Amino acid sequence: MKSTLIELAHYVGGVLHGDDAPISGVREIQHAVQGDLAFISNAKYQKYLTSTHASGVLVSQVDPNAAVSQIVVPNPYFAFARALGHFFPAVHPQALAPSWVHPEAVVDQSVTLHGAFVDAGATIGAGSYLYPGVYVGMGASVGVNCVLYPNVCLAHGCSVGNRVIVHAGAVIGSDGFGYATNAGVHHKIPQVGVVVVEDDVEIGANTTIDRAALGTTRIGNGSKIDNLVQVGHNVTLGQGCILAAHVGLSGSVTLGNYVVMGGQSATAGHLTITDRVIIAGRGGATRNIDKPGTYAGFPLKPHKEWQKEVVELRNLSELRRRIAALEAQINSLVKDDE
């Protein structure tokens, strides 16, 4: 697909400063060539504005020293994402593999089933696409314009909302991890709740979201979950949460709105984390967090406090050396007095 800078400026809601030019692709600013559109959202890439070979760059403000046309937008990163979608619209293969649909399932005529298995009582909304190996369990539901990639499992009774993307191998509605121990034997607690995934959520490959023991495990509107994330039973995510790879949420944890958890961070069970909290990578939450902000370390503490402690730990060896030298001096003075 080809376009022009003027057309792209209109498409992303920006203003073109400089000459119009044909655009045939998008690329990072340091690697862009003629015909490419690039962007700057990080100040460290500003230097490339004077040397890039791109035909146009998305920026938040005009740089008068730039030797390239610029499209000014409020959020260059978001505008670049929109431009990528313009040049690379989603393309799904034609339905060739045989599918199996239970006669009691309700599947909209516009749905594409590409080797999927839809069980009794399930419903699939208009415009959704199910890749080979997808399983939609009894009584489960998929909203409109969803994409479920190969080998996704949406277990019985669970639901995903509208415009949801679930990547390959993800499991929604596996049993929660619950056992009652009696006389040294672990007995399984039946997990009879469900998972509800709300609208505009994206779930990464091989992520698992456990059904509730009772009630609902809920993923809020617009939340984005990376690959290989574990969401335990009865967890509730507010809207707009972001969970990076290897995050682990223990059972009955509640996240507020717009909580961000970095890679390999985790929580103990039955905690509540308020709105707009950021947990840095490998951070461990062992108690409730009731104040917005950025936290790090294990156990978690405010990020600046954690940074100071890290610096102090790095200086321990030097402090030990200095203390040993002082002790030697004191011992020498004591001997002299004797």
Question: Active-site positions?
Answer: 233
Rg (CA), the chain: 27
Which residue in 278, 281, 232, 274 sits closest to 255, CA to CA?
274
Axis-axis angle for helices 316-337, 303-314 (nearest 10): 50
In contact, 307 and 293? CB cutoff 8 Å: no
CB contact set of 223 (below 8 Å; sequence gap of 6+): 198, 201, 237, 238, 239, 240, 241, 242, 243
Q: Cα(59)–Cα(327) distance, rounded to whole angstroms?
A: 60
Q: How far apart, in Å, are the Cα atoms of 226 and each of 185, 218, 312, 318?
A: 35, 16, 33, 41
Q: Cα(164)–Cα(142) distance, rounded to whole angstroms?
A: 9
Q: How far apart, in Å, are the Cα atoms of 25 and each of 2, 9, 74, 160, 338?
A: 8, 15, 22, 34, 84
Helices (H) and strands (E) in the chain, counts: 4, 39
* Residue 124: other Cβ atoms inside 10 A: 27
In 3-state terms, what secondary structure has residue 332? helix
CB contact set of 236 (below 8 Å; sequence gap of 6+): 216, 217, 218, 220, 253, 254, 255
Q: Cα(273)–Cα(260) distance, rounded to whole angstroms?
A: 11
Q: How far apart, in Å, are the Cα atoms of 318 and each of 82, 155, 307, 326?
A: 52, 57, 18, 12
Q: How far apart, in Å, are the Cα atoms of 250 and each of 6, 255, 267, 272?
A: 50, 11, 6, 11
